[in-house]
Amino acid sequence: MSASTKESISNQRHHKGVYDALVIGGGLVGSAIAFGLRQEVDHVAVLDEGDVAFRASRGNFGLVWVQSKGMGMPAYGHWTVSSQRLWSVLAEKLEAITGLEVGLEQKGGLHAVLTEHEYESRVQFMNKLIEQPGMIQYQWKMLDRKELLDMVPGIGPEVLGASWTEIDGVANPLKMLRALHTAFDVQSVDYLPEHPVADIHFKNNIFEMGTPHGIVRAKKIVIASGLGNQLLGNQIGLSIPVRPQRGQIIVLERTKRMLQLPFATLRQMDEGTWLIGDSQEEAAYADDVVGLPILATLANRAVRTIPKLRDVRVVRSWSALRVMSKDGFPIYEESPQFPGAFVATCHSGVTLAAAHALRLAPMVVEGKLSEEMAPFSTRRFNVQATT
């Protein structure tokens, strides 16, 4: 085997010409959008980095979550619910194309509270959220301890209750990624790893992405490269203020299935392992360091929620960088300077996957974002675009 003839897989392309649409970024956001694009047009490509990159997707908890979303931006509440409603459609489509299921469970979701103060805060918050003018209405309930105990036997004595809604759910984010990438293979989407984009030019109505393997061309592009969106956004005249926010999760060994309903910060996966989250630290780019005190706090809270987990073993911890916009809400925008170039960023890649694939992608194909997307543009930050 000669290392000099580097005929690596990353160079193999089905389509050699100009793509109809191209996504920069192969994580949950980019992959979902690319999948959606492929259902509308023929030649789609995804440009991705290599194996070791700031991959927020690998730290994802997998919630398909509605409750709590949209305080300060009701449009986000709407967008989230629209995705939640379409999620089973996305899952079915993926299964039909790839034969892979993605662990979708939409049986409801809980947000536990462990003190009186937490209980009251939660009630106030959810009421205020739903009461916002223009906010989408859905049923939610504050369960007291007794009601919660009926739903989740084994809840700890400190748990005073939980906010509950029937429309929350979970999926398996890694299965999602795998299914999306398998769909690329089946449907001839050119997924090109090791193709980081250095620059973007616009020539003769075509976008040209400069990569180490040469220029890749497309009629429309979506920049969905997470923390990389800032630099790439500049290339298309958009200022995308995103910053890294570290989240750490703990993974417990497989047990027989015990927890059927997910908590926002504690869930059991379809294959039996447990995930415990979630922390939020402004930790710059240190995604490879795990702090012991944070693990202790995460563990402590989980043990208080379900005490029986005390002797279940931690098999690994994970740290990943969320892609946080200035106000925490997604950014979807078409470049005014370069129509046909879009940016998409959020930190709820699983929840919004269906909206990304089945609502955002068609908008991109059509060449413009619908009116309902206006609140998500960066104009809300009043930033000046730089060329």
Partner 1 sequence: MFKRLPESEAQLNAHPVALKVNGMEVFCREGDSVAAALFAAGLLDCRDTPVKGVPRGPFCMMGVCFDCLVEINGMPNQQGCMVLAKPGMNIERQLGAREVQT
Partner 2 sequence: MSQVSNCEVAIIGAGPAGMAAALALTEYGLDVVVFDENPAAGGQIYRGITSSPLRDRPQILGKDYWAGEPLVKKFQACDAQKIHEAIVWAVSQQTSDFAPSHFEIGYSVNAEARLLHARHVLVATGAHERPFPIRGWTLPGVITGGAAQTLLKSNAIVPSDRIVLAGCGPLLYLIAWQYLNSGVKIDMLLDTTPKGRVLSLWPYLLDFVRSPYFLKGLNLVREVNSKVNVVKHVSELAANGVDALESITFKTGNQERTVEADHLLLHQGVMPNINLAQALGITLNWNDVIKCWEPVADIWGNTNVERVHIAGDAAGIAGAWAAESRGRLAATDIAFQLGKLTEQQRDTVAVKLRHDYVAVTRGREFFDRLFQPPVQFRRPTGDTVVCRCEEITASQVRETVKIGCTGPNQMKSFLRCGMGPCQGRFCAVTVTELIADERNVPEQDVGHYRLRFPTKPLTLGELAALPQTEDSIKAVVRLKKPV
231 binds, among partner 1, partner 2, none (CB under 5 to 8 A by kind): none
Given 328, 338, 363, 381, the residue binding partner 2 (CB under 8 A): 328
Position 344 contacts partner 1 (CB under 8 A): no
Given 150, 253, 366, 372, the residue binding partner 1 (CB under 8 A): 253
Given 58, 213, 219, 254, the residue binding partner 1 (CB under 8 A): 254
**What is the size of the binding site for partner 1 (CB under 8 A)?**
12
Query: Under the phi-then-psi rule, with left for phi > 0, alpha for psi from -120 to 50, and beta for the rest, what region is 272?
Result: left
CB atoms within 10 A of CB 83: 25
Under 8 Å between Cβ of 184 and 34: yes
- Residue 109, token pair as written in the block: 């979701």
- Residue 343, token pair as written in the block: 């940016």
| Burial readout 306-345 (b: 16 or more C-beta within 10 A, e: otherwise) | beebeebeeeebbbbbbbbbeeebbbbbbbeebebbbbbb
3-class secondary structure per residue, 188-239:
CCEEECCCCCCEEEEECCEEEEEECCEEEEEEEEEECCHHHHHHHHHHCCCC
272 binds, among partner 2, partner 1, none (CB under 5 to 8 A by kind): partner 1
Position 299 contacts partner 2 (CB under 8 A): yes
Given 206, 312, 363, 365, the residue binding partner 1 (CB under 8 A): 312
Least distance (Å) between residue 253 CB and partner 1: 6
69 binds, among partner 2, partner 1, none (CB under 5 to 8 A by kind): partner 2
Least distance (Å) between residue 340 CB and partner 2: 25
Give residues 34-73 in contact with partner 2 (rule: CB under 8 A).
48, 50-52, 55, 57-58, 68-73
Give residues 102-121 in contact with partner 2 (rule: CB under 8 A).
111, 117-118, 121
CB atoms within 10 A of CB 285: 11
Neighbour-count burial of 127, counting CB atoms closer than 10 A to its CB (0-12 exposed, 13-18 middle, 19+ buried): exposed
Least distance (Å) between residue 343 CB and partner 1: 40
| Binding stretches for partner 1 (CB under 8 A) | 154, 253-256, 258, 272, 308-309, 311-313
